[in-house]
Amino acid sequence: MKDTRRTFLKTTGLLAGAGLHAPFRPDRPAVAAENAMRTMRYASMPKKEAVLWQQEVRAKLFDLLKMSDLVADDTDIPLELEMHASRDEDGYAFHEMEMNSTPGRRMQFVATTPTGREGPFPAVVFLAGHGGTRHTVYGERGGYYHVGRLLAAGGYVTVSANISQHAVYEAGRTNMGERLWDLVRCVDYLLARDDVDPERIGSGGKSLGGEMVMWLGAMDERVKANLVSGFLTSMDQMEQNHCMCWKFPGLRELVDFADIYSLIAPRPVLFQNGVDERASQFPPALALEVFEELAVTYHDFEVPENASLVAFKGGHVVHVPSVLGFFDQHLRKSLKLVPFAERTRL
Ligand SMILES: [Zn+2]
């Protein structure tokens, strides 16, 4: 087993409360300050300052998510892995797994490992949306429902976990914090595998799965490539016609989604948005607006090419060819261009 320490958390702990870029609120009564919205909104700044802004926002978000105890002292929670079942598929093995999430809670997940190939392998955590389970992306229904299988057969180690729960498992936690922590643990699991290249871990997902890719990429810098399908939006939009599980106390006062996406910079992110998405759901015009906001951060990091948006003919679905192209581009060690037709047959 390799070292799985989450060193990214140390720096956030050190900087917590440092007060960098605290909003200037001259002579305002305290109550007004408490009600202020999006106080940590990203504004263009030099790269060095942007890194400090990211560290401060992460520390504040870990507090709001009620995860600070899990991340504060680089807690080493043993994985204590169990494999409940395993079967051979075409080109990969499919495993039903269980491990420790927190010291008091275990979680189930799926892992696939390539067969007949030599590691180290790139790896992807791929997630379904609302109502989905850890099995959804390994389905037989085509499209997004088999993206996990396409990646597994294409030589990636893949992992999927349940993120659709709306109950809080442990006292003193938040729903979003528990979903995110389980994904951090999936990254811990990947890093503990000797056959996974730690520099080539990505994550992808649709809708709620895309939202969780946002959170994982924002808060865990070990994730090097981020694919968000159907969740490039604003909090104002999500206040209506949507499940409210995205929201928790203090979030809106601190940031909007564009700011959380800004925490992923400079690491690559690809957004997908169907042009037929309904106005009440994830309209493409709003996606473009939010994209332009977060693109400012990528410009400040001098890698504007690392954030892109694919608008495709379709609704609230995954654009499968660009999922595969994105991960191949960023996570394959040597990219061999595969003709499009061949790629879609994978
Ligand atoms: Zn929900």
Tell me: cis bond preceding 266? Omega within 30 of 0 counts. Answer: yes
State the pLDDT at residue 144.
72
How many helices (H) and strands (E) the chain has is answered by 13, 9
Axis crossing angle, helix 208-219 with helix 175-192, rounded to the nearest 10 = 70
What does 275-296 look like in DSSP terms, one character per residue? TT--TTS--HHHHHHHHHHHHH
Q: How far apart are alpha carbons 265 and 343 in whole angstroms?
A: 28
Q: What is the whole-number distance in angstroms between the Cα of residue 273 and the centre of ligand 1? A: 20
Q: How far apart are alpha carbons 191 and 145 in whole angstroms?
A: 26
Q: How confident is the model at residue 67 (pLDDT cuts 50, 70, 90)?
A: very high
Q: How far apart are alpha carbons 9 and 22 in whole angstroms?
A: 21
Tokens representing 96 are 């039903």
Q: Say which DSSP state 245 is in.
A: G
Task: Decide if pLDDT at 141 tops 90.
Answer: no
Tokens representing 266 are 């400079």
Q: What is the whole-number distance in angstroms between the Cα of residue 245 and the centre of ligand 1? A: 4
CATH number of 8-331: 3.40.50.1820
Task: Decide if pLDDT at 201 tops 50.
Answer: yes
User: What percent of the chain is modeled with pLDDT above 70?
Assistant: 84
Alpha helices in 204-319, H assignment, sequence order: 208-219, 235-238, 251-254, 257-262, 284-300
Report pLDDT digits (tens) over 104-138: 999 999 999 999 999 999 999 999 999 999 999 99
Report pLDDT digits (tens) over 217-256: 999 999 999 999 999 999 999 999 999 999 999 999 999 9
Contact, 252 vs 244, CB < 8 A? Answer: no
Could you state, in order of their start, the residue ranges of all structural domains in the chain? Answer: 8-331
Q: What is the whole-number distance in angstroms between the Cα of residue 249 and the centre of ligand 1? A: 16
Q: What is the whole-number distance in angstroms between the Cα of residue 133 and the centre of ligand 1? A: 13
Q: What is the mean pLDDT of the chain?
A: 89
Residues 6 or more apart in contact with residue 296 via CB below 8 angstroms: 42, 44, 262
Q: What is the whole-number distance in angstroms between the Cα of residue 177 and the centre of ligand 1? A: 13
Contact, 130 vs 164, CB < 8 A? Answer: yes
State the pLDDT at residue 19.
37
State the pLDDT at residue 76.
84
Task: Decide if pLDDT at 74 tops 70.
Answer: no
What does 155-206 look like in DSSP terms, one character per residue? T-EEEEE-----S--STT--HHHHHHHHHHHHHHHHHH-TTEEEEEEEEEEE
Q: What is the whole-number distance in angstroms between the Cα of residue 246 and the centre of ligand 1? A: 7
Q: What is the whole-number distance in angstroms between the Cα of residue 244 and the centre of ligand 1? A: 6
Q: What is the whole-number distance in angstroms between the Cα of residue 164 and the centre of ligand 1? A: 7
Q: What is the whole-number distance in angstroms between the Cα of residue 106 and the centre of ligand 1? A: 22
Q: Which residue has the higher pLDDT, 342 or 302?
A: 302
Which residue bears the tokens 């989450």?
A: 6
Q: What is the whole-number distance in angstroms between the Cα of residue 131 and the centre of ligand 1? A: 9
**Burial class of residue 186, CB neighbours in 10 A (0-12, 13-18, 19+):** buried
Phi-psi region of 241 (alpha: psi -120 to 50; beta: other; left: phi over 0): left
Q: How confident is the model at residue 140 (pLDDT cuts 50, 70, 90)?
A: confident
Task: Decide if pLDDT at 314 tops 80.
Answer: yes
Q: What is the whole-number distance in angstroms between the Cα of residue 129 and the centre of ligand 1? A: 9
Report pLDDT digits (tens) over 20-42: 444 444 454 444 445 689 999 99
State the pLDDT at residue 17.
37
Mean pLDDT of the 8-30 span: 43
Residues 6 or more apart in contact with residue 305 via CB below 8 angstroms: none
Q: Which residue has the higher pLDDT, 139 or 6?
A: 139
Q: Sign of dihedral through CA atoms 301, 189, 118, 345?
A: negative
Q: What is the whole-number distance in angstroms between the Cα of residue 222 and the centre of ligand 1? A: 26
Task: Decide if pLDDT at 14 tops 60.
Answer: no
Tell me if the pTM is above 0.95: no
Q: How far apart are alpha carbons 99 and 202 in whole angstroms?
A: 20
CA separation, residue 32 to residues 24, 60, 249, 250 (Å): 13, 19, 17, 14
Range from 28-42, 138-152, 177-191, 299-313 carrying the lowest mean pLDDT: 28-42
Report pLDDT digits (tens) over 330-346: 999 655 555 555 555 44
Which residue bears the tokens 């609120």?
A: 25
Q: What is the whole-number distance in angstroms between the Cα of residue 243 and the centre of ligand 1? A: 5
Report pLDDT digits (tens) over 85-98: 999 999 999 999 99
Q: Which amino acid, residue 202? A: G
State the pLDDT at residue 4.
52
Q: How confident is the model at residue 307 (pLDDT cuts 50, 70, 90)?
A: very high
State the pLDDT at residue 12.
42
Task: Decide if pLDDT at 300 tops 90.
Answer: yes
Alpha helices in 301-333, H assignment, sequence order: 320-331
Q: What is the whole-number distance in angstroms between the Cα of residue 163 and the centre of ligand 1? A: 10
